[in-house]
A and B are shown apart, each in its own frame.
Chain A
Amino acid sequence: MDGHRDPLSSRAWRALVLGVPLAFLALFFLYPLAAIVERGLRGEGDPPLDVLTDPTTADVVWFTVWQALASTVLTIALALPAAYVLGRYRFRGRGLVGALVVVPFVLPTVVVALAFVAILPDGVERGWAPILVAHAFFNVAVVVRIVGTFWASLDPRVDEAAATLGARPLARFREITAPLLAPALAAAAAIVFLFSFTSFGVVLILGGPRFATLEAEIYNQAVRLFDLRAAAVLSIVQLACVVAAVWVATRLERRVVVTGQLRPESEVLRAPRTTRDKLVVGASLGGLALFLGLPLAVLVERSLAIGDGHGLHAYRALGRPTSVLLAAPWEAVLNSVVYAAAATAIALAVGGLAAFALATSRGRVLDSLILLPLGVSAVMLGLGFLIAFDTEPLDFRAASWLVPVAQALVAIPFVVRILVPTLRSIDPRQREAAALLGAPPARVRREIDLPIVSRGLAVAAAFAFAISLGEFGATVFLARPDRPTLPVAIFRFLGRPGEVNVAQAYALAVVLMVLTVVSVLLVERLRVRRGGWF
């Protein structure tokens, strides 16, 4: 926009917003992934085509794709009513609802899957159905938060005008709301799809031995059978599927961008006044609370169970150092917060720059590249880190700063997906009008862009923080054993027999739940207000 005045600084700005995210992804994602795949293909073993022509591979690919699609549809269906309520109404406890919904998203898969086994009646506790339900349980937050946040910035007056003109609710949703929401819906759907696509623990525990995703098969080949070549070939297959899915999603996201409809949240939300309003809010949130609350209640109950009764033994034990962790369990809270804060800073810096780059230019490659870390095998990436960063000057495979870097890799896509739809939809005419009235460019950004983006920025930060709190796959590989995060500590306690150990695992899961709610509420408070940071 201000490029006409100062082309040089504009070029430098472009180099920064594109260069930093690209360099980050090249170093910490593409390079280790390429290194491990190359090692796998170079090694001896069966010809790679054997894996591809194996009939079980086709089965695995088919199952991986359809369960991910079905999980995405189910998640959106379950989340949309709550997203609508959060995007349209102002009510007491709205912030708390937004924080609570994130809780399932951060919980370790093993703990949740075991809770599902406990709740579901015999006979239906295993198979494809519980897999889909569990995926929806984990990912509802993605849709509620990304779509809900965007919805809350959509000008309701167009819809109201159509209603005044006699358009029916369904027609209004199809003709007005759906096209406006499409970018955020596509972004959320892409993330849910990728999470379900690479699902591993949930599928193994709730699917039973008959079901496997590509991710599980890659793990099996690399770690159980030591066949790195087969694992590398399957990783390429996985990557191809993911690239295709991401390509479709980013196209959808770009296709329908209607500008000029965005308003700051404070001007959009209204209190539920009529009985109908109250019924909608109550039913949407009540239904979601039931769905998310039941498994969580099981975890709380398990943390209190001792002998035949209940008590706080497990919570008291959290203060005592244990050789299981080489530290006192409560210290895991501190470690989690420190790592998550660092990861959030990295994710906001890298992801924020990327979002600006994508909103103001085409940047197709970066757009797709940002999402890929969510869809690529964590096992292979972890092994890639081992061989990519093992010699000077890239000798830092044991460095503890890799923990927040790896967590940021997972958080960056969220930051970008939350910010981009909003940034793209800002009407350039609003900026032009302000400039015409004599506002300098910096002031235009502060007065026009920031109030609209600030909400998204706060949500992105909170989400990045929550993701880092819950990240397990990379953290367990990289974190020092005497500095475990909460999910790592939970996993270690769950790996041992004995009542006190299992109760401590569940107690730590409850601590993680509380920590998530508190930190999401706090981080969202740190939002940019009109005119600057508070």
Chain B
Amino acid sequence: MTLFPDALRTLAVGMAVVTVACGCGGSDETPRVVVLVTHDSFAVSPDVKRAFEEESGLTLRILKAGDAGEIVTRALLTAGNPEGDVLFGVDNNLLQRTLEGDVFEEYESPRLENIDPELLLDPQHRATPIDRGDVCLNYDQAWFTERELDPPRELSDLVLAPYRDLLVVENPATSTPGLAFLLATIASYGDDGWQAFWRGLRANGVLVVDGWEDAYYARFSGSAGSKGKRPIVVSYASSPPAEVIFRDPRPSEPPTGVVERSCFRQVELAGVLRGARNEEGARQLIDFMLSERFQEDIPLQMFVFPARLDTALPRAFEQFAVVPESPLELPPEKIEANRERWVDEWTDIVIR
């Protein structure tokens, strides 16, 4: 099998002589560019990006390379010869896999002291926490008010008769929030209890769909303009403020609510990629991502919460976002050791 690609490579090199003439190289000069590899949901205000570029004298290039799972796959595949200098968007569910794949260079930023210590998941500082969010059940306020039914307060409510056929969840095998919700039930019911809970959900008519877009926009009744029929969905703690901010005119109250005790903590981390072309620039970028300027920009851009404790939140967030006091959590090593088995077991219980 090795001979084949080599022969092809020789042929390809010949072809490349022609194509390289277009002047796409230019790797020799001192790098004035720093490349951030990140997921599709990454967003930053243009003036914040400009502030970094002026401060550092570097051009920030952003490479969006898929969802969290896809960017980790790409990083693992290119470990040592990475696509960029910094990787942002690894979450606590994928952290251990990334660390085992030796993707990051150690870097302890001087700005770590303001960070919520609970988020420092890697004591060796290969990965630095940048933000946190929570995957939570959302419910349609109007639906429950009209029917004079209380929205669910606990996970255990979902298996009760009044909540029959009301819940839509994402498949943990294909969706990041879907996996987080499965982990929430495991954190809540323990290694031996979650299976029974899901059997109960199945008996109570849970609907499983492929991804968040399908669940939130097509099945959930509470999202704007939706023709969906299910009033409870797995989404984010920050979805209600988004429903306010992105409506025109803005309503005074969010149309959706959050079931606080269903929330599973997600921490997003960044790290300097091993083999980065601009290692110094990569460190500067990590420092910048921990600066007040960037941290304040996070909520309205990515709809998650800053990792810094001293950051002021925007008004819509202070008013409408739910910050669960003690979200459900599992240690990254435990997730890594069991993820595949749990998803298989879940598939057997809920799908087959």
Contacts and interface: CB of A to CB of B under 8 A. Distances in A.
Interface of A: 23-24, 26-27, 30-31, 34-35, 37-39, 41-42, 110, 113-114, 117-118, 122, 204-205, 208-210, 220, 222-226, 228, 302, 305-307, 313, 321, 323-324, 326, 383, 386-388, 390-399, 401, 476-477, 480-482, 491-492, 494-503
Contact of B213 (A114, A222, A225): A114
Nearest to A305: B225
Interface string B29-69: 00000010000110111100000000000000111111001
Interface string B225-264: 1010100000110010011011110000000000000000
A477 B65 contact: yes
Contacts of B40: 491-492, 495
Given A34-B8, A226-B97, A481-B62, 11 more contacts: A26-B15, A31-B9, A34-B5, A118-B227, A208-B210, A209-B351, A226-B73, A401-B24, A495-B41, A498-B242, A502-B224
Given A31-B8, A323-B46, A387-B78, A497 B16 contact: no
A498 B217 contact: no
Given A114-B218, A393-B20, A401-B24, A502 B225 contact: yes
A323 B63 CA distance: 14
A526 to B, nearest CB: 26
Contacts of A306: 225, 248
A390 B351 CA distance: 41
Among A224, A228, A391, which residue has the most Cβ atoms of chain B within 10 A? Answer: A224
B295 interface: no
Contact of A499 (B20, B224, B303, B350): B224
Most chain B beta-carbon contacts within 10 A, residue among A110, A497, A501: A497
Nearest to A494: B213
A220 B174 CA distance: 7
Nearest to B251: A307
A496 B242 contact: yes
B5 A31 contact: yes
Contacts of B236: 497
Interface residues of B, number: 76
Contacts of B145: none
Contact of A383 (B61, B73, B214): B73
Interface of B: 1-2, 4-5, 8-9, 11-13, 15-17, 19-20, 22, 24-25, 27, 35, 40-41, 43-46, 61-66, 69-70, 72-74, 76-78, 81, 83, 97, 171, 173-174, 208-214, 216-219, 223-225, 227, 229, 235-236, 239, 242-243, 245-248, 301, 303, 340, 347, 350-351
Contacts of A323: 43-46, 301
A208 B173 CA distance: 12
A393 B16 contact: yes
Contacts of B44: 323
A491 B213 CA distance: 10
A394 B218 contact: no
B225 A117 contact: no
Contact of B247 (A122, A228, A499): A499
Nearest to A227: B340
- Which of A110, A223, A391 counts the most chain B CB atoms within 10 A? A223
A117 B218 CA distance: 7
Contacts of B61: 480
B281 to A, nearest CB: 16
Nearest to A497: B242
Contacts of A393: 13, 16-17, 20
B335 to A, nearest CB: 13
Contacts of A482: 62
B293 to A, nearest CB: 15
B66 A476 contact: yes
Nearest to B9: A31
7 A-B pairs closest in CB distance: A498-B246, A499-B224, A204-B210, A497-B242, A31-B8, A323-B43, A500-B246
A34 B5 CA distance: 6
Contacts of A39: 77
Nearest to B17: A393
Given A118-B227, A394-B13, A386 B74 contact: yes
- Which of A34, A205, A302, A496 is most buried by chain B, counting CB atoms within 10 A of its CB? A496
A497 B246 contact: yes
A500 B244 CA distance: 10
A389 to B, nearest CB: 9
Contacts of B229: 122
A394 B214 contact: no
Contacts of B24: 396, 399, 401
Contacts of B46: 321, 323, 326
A469 to B, nearest CB: 20
